[in-house]
Structure 1
């Protein structure tokens, strides 16, 4: 299937998979309401888009209610060098989310073994009871062991200050357990900074990234 030509800002807003290559690699953000999924997606989108005042492509605002109510995606090319689909998802476990089952089925289209990396988004310092066992709950909904393709993405990195991130993880047994189940793949984001380096370092934690994104490897 022939891909669309991307605009100069390096990403394309999409509401359906029409016109997107079947073998496109997916970056899927999962997690509870308020953890920073949409803000993290916007941080990733900002890389390669240097135009000032560009509009925010994923709606993101502080709220105890779901702001993202359906799966949404954007197609990116920068900085990967190939087309990549970035998928933002709702909180599948929120009791105010309508059509939760339908949204899980939609997510399954993008979240398939060998064709994606999952970013399990957790807010630093706000690990809730609802997040205990969240990895297993997501695996049950999606039907496969996503832990094999998951990076734990901790947000609000500015709150860490000068503390060691690894020590912080070890001080929280439930968080440490999730990180261990995901093969100790984890990363820290400060979404108040539109910093290219933190995004590139995240991408480099994707298994076999150098084979999938050779242009990125060459440029960074």
Structure 2
């Protein structure tokens, strides 16, 4: 597996303390303008504990307010990163909202029909793959279908740069993490939790472009989502139809067992007489 920091090492642009917290990349050279990839739409998903929200966060900025957060957070945020216009759809922790907000499915459907997605960025804190992360990933597949996997990239976040050295060891020690990466084609990137480093964000954009070309310039579309949604609802309806039948079978089985026991008691009583 390639070094996740190789691109960072090749990036020789100077980083200042203030520059690391700037909202926009200031590289506007002619060569850069000629090679820009102008419009990118990404979905950010995963666990909120893997991200440090704030004004300096280049991808998502401040954490949404609790009130109506589920609705407001999935309105695309318009960013400019490394001369690219980036629409960021924040679905972090949205799997929890799904339990009590029926309209989320419709909102996501409308959103995906209006915005074709280049990449789904699944955020995981480096070295801490939790049950919540697994639930998040299951939700992602259930909501968007297996087709989504070809558009997913894992984004490992860290607090200390040297933590990135543990990623290979973590994969060896954690087969679940290894399987997760395999499902996503081995695609991953690393960045700090604050997501305020221009070099890391610039290299993330490059990897998203690479993914786009690997997918033959195909994006995740509303048609893909609608197909997945129909299958999911059919499966849910089928499970609902099967539930009464299973309950009936259980009741019948219990009744039969009671009759059998009653029959045995009657036989024993007749022998005693």
TM-score between the two structures when normalised by the length of structure 1: 0.62
Larger radius of gyration: 2
Aligned-pair distance for 1:75? 1.1
Q: Structure 1: where are the runs of 5+ without partners? A: 1-8, 12-23, 46-55, 212-220
Distance 2:143 2:41 in 1: 18
Change in 2 beyond 3 A, CA 1:73/1:119 = same
Coordinate RMSD, CA, aligned? 3.8
Match of 1:34 in 2: 49
Aligned-pair distance for 1:32? 2.9
Distance 2:130 2:91 in 1: 19
TM-score between the two structures when normalised by the length of structure 2: 0.52
Q: Deviations over 1:120-173 (max 9, x none)?
A: 011123211233364343121124521100110111252753634233233211
Choose from 126, 139, 142 the match for 1:124.
Answer: 126
Greater helix share, structure number: 2
Choose from 53, 59, 77 the match for 2:63.
Answer: 59
Choose from 71, 79, 87 the match for 2:82.
Answer: 79
Distance 2:146 2:110 in 1: 13
Residue aligned with 2:171, SS: helix
Q: How many residues in Structure 1 have an aligned counterpart in Structure 2?
A: 176
CA contact (8 A) 1:124 1:154 kept: yes
Q: Structure 2: where are the runs of 5+ without partners? A: 1-22, 26-38, 214-273
Match of 2:147 in 1: 145
